[in-house]
């Protein structure tokens, strides 16, 4: 199988929000985004999909080795790594960022909750911010503004993901929302273990939805107007995540019972409406 096709299968590309965020990109930009998101999924899914911790740690150690081989020998044994080499973007990707992906996955074994917002921000960086930064680097964008934007988008996307996959997180014995957020709503991990929705949990999830949206707006404000077009795909990705949260809220936050999906037609509409708004702001 061609490496980039493997990457598409890994992230279920045709059905993903990433697909809609990549519309309009040239082929190299599109495949760069696909390959880097596939890399993130390969590594960060390991603690959730490999049930024996010792085996999972071995797999992550293997990824450390593969990253070293990739940079030292310009060779790849894994389809995702081969895709990165094929795209000729390796010189743009700082090796420490790839190492941090593995380090972030490693933290999953020892950290099942975030005591403070600061710890939560670190968790979001590992699980979403790094991939956003890698994508920016892969497309040749650097600088403090891009770093701030990627970090804020990372918090946005991770908060949204934790809401949509709440049942999976609880089943894995994890609850990464800041502990102070839980305490403000008089909740503990045990309140979620029954998988029963109640008004207290609904109120908490409503707060987290607004929290994600706030960081989405902060991300946009951190980005200079001249760079908005450059980061368009990340903006679309976060925007679609926000629209999914709207649907979850309308459904009464029934995340323990079923998944909520935005239809492809509505995703296209939301993308079109967002980009029209961006064009209007840029002209203004």
What are the pLDDT digits (tens) for 143-198? Answer: 888 899 999 999 999 999 999 999 999 998 999 999 999 999 999 999 999 999 99
From residue 2, give the alpha-carbon distance in Å to each of 22, 79, 85, 210: 20, 8, 12, 41
Claim to verify: residue 14 and residue 106 sit in the same structural domain: yes
Residue 284 has a pLDDT of 54
Last residue of a domain, one of 110, 138, 167: 110
The pair of structure tokens assigned to 262 is 């935005």
Distance CA 236, CA 233 (A): 5
Distance CA 50, CA 189 (A): 23
CB-CB contact of 142 with 163 (8 Å): no
Given a cut of 90, whether residue 281 has pLDDT beyond it is: no
CB-CB contact of 126 with 100 (8 Å): yes
Claim to verify: residue 217 and residue 147 sit in the same structural domain: yes
Please indicate whether residue 253 or residue 280 has the higher confidence score (pLDDT): 253
Claim to verify: residue 74 and residue 151 sit in the same structural domain: no
Residue 218 has a pLDDT of 94
Per DSSP, the three-state class of 178 is strand
Reported confidence tier of residue 222, pLDDT bands at 50, 70, 90: confident
Element (H, E) at 176: strand 175-178
Distance CA 85, CA 4 (A): 11
Claim to verify: residue 82 and residue 17 sit in the same structural domain: yes
Number of folded domains that form the chain = 2
Domain housing 23: 1-110
Last residue of a domain, one of 110, 138, 168: 110
* pLDDT tens track for 231-268: 899 999 999 999 999 999 999 999 999 988 899 999 99
Distance CA 39, CA 80 (A): 6
DSSP 98-114: HHHHHHHHHHHHH-SEE
Given a cut of 90, whether residue 139 has pLDDT beyond it is: no
Residue 58 has a pLDDT of 97
Claim to verify: residue 123 and residue 93 sit in the same structural domain: no
């Amino acid at each position: 199988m061609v490496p980039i096709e493997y990457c598409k299968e890994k992230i279920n590309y045709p059905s993903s929000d990433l697909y809609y965020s990549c519309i309009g990109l040239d082929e190299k930009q599109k495949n760069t985004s696909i390959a880097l998101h596939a890399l993130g999924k390969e590594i960060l899914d390991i603690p959730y999909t490999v049930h024996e911790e010792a085996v999972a740690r071995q797999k992550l150690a293997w990824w450390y080795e593969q990253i070293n081989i990739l940079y030292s020998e310009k060779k790849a044994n894994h389809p995702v790594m081969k895709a990165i080499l094929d795209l000729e973007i390796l010189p743009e990707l700082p090796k420490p960022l790839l190492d941090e992906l593995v380090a972030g996955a490693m933290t999953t074994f020892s950290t099942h909750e975030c005591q403070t917002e600061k710890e939560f921000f670190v968790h979001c960086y590992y699980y979403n911010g790094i991939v956003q930064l890698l994508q920016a680097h892969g497309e040749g964008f650097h600088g403090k503004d891009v770093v701030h934007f990627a970090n804020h988008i990372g918090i946005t996307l991770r908060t949204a993901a934790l809401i949509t996959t709440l049942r999976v997180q609880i089943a894995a014995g994890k609850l990464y929302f800041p502990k102070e957020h839980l305490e403000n709503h008089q909740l503990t991990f045990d309140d979620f273990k029954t998988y029963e929705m109640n008004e207290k949990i609904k109120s908490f999830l409503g707060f987290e939805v607004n929290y994600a949206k706030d960081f989405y707006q902060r991300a946009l404000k951190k980005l200079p107007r001249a760079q908005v077009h450059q980061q368009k795909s990340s903006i679309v990705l976060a925007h679609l995540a926000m629209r999914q949260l709207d649907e979850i809220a309308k459904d009464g936050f029934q995340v323990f019972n079923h998944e909520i999906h935005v239809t492809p037609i509505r995703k296209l509409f939301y993308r079109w409406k967002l980009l029209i708004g961006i064009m209007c702001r840029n002209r203004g």
